[in-house]
Amino acid sequence: MNQTSRPFRALGFFALGGLIATSTILLTPHSGRSIPATGLKDSPKALVDEVWQIVNRTYVDGTFNHTDWQATRQQLLSKNYSSKEQAYEAIRTALKKLDDPYTRFLEPQKFTELRQQTSGELSGIGAKLALDKTTKVLTVIEAMIDSPAFKAGLKSGDQILAVDGKPVKGLEVDKAVSLIRGKPDTIVKLKIARSGKNVFDVALTRQVIQVSIVTSAVKQEGNNRIGYIHLSEFDDHADTQVKKAIQSLEKQKVKGFILDLRENPGGLLSMAVGVSRLWINEGAIVKTVIRSGESSTDEADRTAVTQLPLTVLVDGGSASASEIVTGALKDHRRATIVGTKTFGKGIVQQVNPLSGGSGLNVTIARYFTPNGTDIHHKGIVPDVVVPLTKAQTKALSDNPKLVASPSDPQYVKAVQSVSKLIQSNAAMVPTISNVAFPQSKPSLNQ
């Protein structure tokens, strides 16, 4: 993991996540945990004060949304809490005063789920699952190679009727999936329905699965071989997975790239910097400013892995870390940006583990693009704006196979954009006919 910028090292690690999908926030230890007041240790009141202390110390707005934050503490500590649930509700009520949807309290179960999901590793069976829109039954989309699901012979289209004897039909996907996940080396039993076969049971041993957040392919578009990379979020493996995709595609002789960040809600700040560094060789990537006004700039470090032409696809679901990458590539004129205006989230959160296993997500900084642009609540307008109709949006949502195909208008425009860049790039490459060679020096053989 990349080191955090100098002014923020005392504050721990940083995460970025869009409001649309907050589960992309990575959870890491907080190095500056507050100490509960004497006599309150391990009590609900201690948790309330712990939350107040963290917000008081790190929240980006020193006015706390023009509220008396000291008075808020007195109100919180003047109450007696007979249960953790009462403390949780008091914390949520206090945080509402900040009017910041990104500063929020996470109960232990939600905190654990986020931690597992956003670390880029999960303990489970290694199958992509979805709820069939017609039957409302949990269905296997794909079994990851070498995963427990793959080794057990699960196939695309298999329907999961029960988990450890508990029927899952009608359950939300997240709830059903939570039943399947569990500690590594433990066994989960699934009841499977498969077309043309009687219902059968299968027992799988859970293991740690590294989640793939990158899909890539070579697209033959006219005379050009184009490398297509889709990044779904910025978890702890984002830069490594994108780098491998770039290198693999270059070995397949692509002439340019399309980086698809549509519906990517964000993730780790360090991964936004890391992914940017794969494309930008030098210069600023993002400037971050904390409450005191102290700032730090993350820069490229001459480790770019390609200089081939690049076009980036974005939309209203491209948020936070996606916007850092987009802003850096746009300001450096390293890529042409295609699609629709991005979400507009220009702030940074720190996620703090709390006593009892809960967590607190706190906005602790603002960020700016290399040119000093504040994109918060504004978003980034693409160089080439390509809106989609409601019918087009629905078609792409209902049939993911249409994404990055001739039926995807934004992708089609991205292909046109990168093709022009490839053509311009080729025109700049010297050929044998226009290179002036130096005269040969005489040798003893002449």
Task: Domain ranges for the chain, please list them.
Answer: 8-117, 123-210, 214-349+357-426
Coil/strand/helix, residue 363: strand
- Above pLDDT 70, what percent of the chain? 85
User: Looking at the predicted structure, is the pLDDT value of residue 113 above 80?
Assistant: no
What was the pLDDT predicted at 16? 59
Q: In the predicted model, is pLDDT for residue 2 greater than 50?
A: no
Q: Confidence band (pLDDT; 50, 70, 90) for 161?
A: very high
| Residues of the chain above pLDDT 90, percent | 70
When comparing pLDDT for 23 and 242, which is higher? 242
Is 6 a residue whose pLDDT tops 80?
no
- Quote the pLDDT of residue 168: 93
257 burial via Cβ count (<10 Å: 0-12, 13-18, 19+): buried
pLDDT in tens, 350-387: 989 998 999 999 999 999 999 999 999 999 999 999 99
pLDDT at 277 over 90: yes
Alpha-carbon gap, residue 272 to 234, rounded angstroms: 7
DSSP 331-348: HTT-SEEEES------EE
Confidence at 122, pLDDT banded by 50, 70, 90: confident
Between CA 390 and CA 388 the distance in angstroms is 7
What confidence score (pLDDT) does residue 354 get? Answer: 95
Catalytic positions, written as ranges: 320, 331, 345
Q: How far is CA 17 from the centre of its chain?
A: 7
Kind and range of the H or E run holding 230 = strand 224-231
pLDDT of amino acid 170: 84
Predicted pLDDT at 110? 85
Lowest mean pLDDT, pick from 106-120, 318-332, 384-398, 411-425: 106-120
* Cα 386 to Cα 369: distance, rounded to the nearest angstrom: 23
Is the pLDDT at 123 greater than 90? The verdict is no
Asked if the model's pLDDT at residue 46 lies above 90, the reply is yes
> Minimum mean pLDDT among 24-28, 231-235, 280-284, 392-396: which range?
24-28
The three-class DSSP label of residue 323 is helix
Rounded to an integer, the average pLDDT of 400-406 is 94
7: pLDDT strictly greater than 90: no
- The CATH number corresponding to 8-117 among 3.40.50.10470, 3.40.50.300, 3.90.1580.10, 3.30.750.44 equals 3.30.750.44
pLDDT bracket for residue 441 (50, 70, 90): very low
Q: What is the pLDDT of residue 434?
A: 35
Average pLDDT across the chain, whole number: 86
Sign of CA dihedral 194, 197, 200, 206: negative
pLDDT band, very low/low/confident/very high, at 135 (cuts 50, 70, 90): confident
More confident of the two residues 427 and 163: 163
Q: Is the pLDDT of residue 318 over 60?
A: yes
Residue with tokens 């979400």: 343
Lowest mean pLDDT among 23-27, 43-47, 103-107, 280-284: 23-27
- Give the pLDDT band of residue 331 (cuts 50, 70, 90): very high
pLDDT at 117: 61
Element of type H or E holding 112: helix 108-118
Which pLDDT band holds residue 118 (cuts at 50, 70, 90)? low
Q: Choose between 236 and 60: higher pLDDT.
A: 60
Q: What CATH superfamily is the domain 214-349+357-426?
A: 2-enoyl-CoA Hydratase; Chain A, domain 1 (3.90.226.10)
More confident residue, 33 or 295: 295
Q: Indicate if the pLDDT at residue 197 is higher than 80.
A: yes
Tokens linked to 113? 């789920």
In contact, 383 and 337? CB cutoff 8 Å: yes
Q: What is the pLDDT of residue 41?
A: 53
Question: What pLDDT, on the 0 to 100 scale, is given for residue 210?
Answer: 77
Q: With 60 as the cut, is the pLDDT of residue 37 above it?
A: no
Residue owning tokens 């208008």: 409
Q: What is the pLDDT of residue 212?
A: 82
CATH assignment, 123-210: 2.30.42.10
Q: What's the confidence (pLDDT) of residue 429?
A: 52
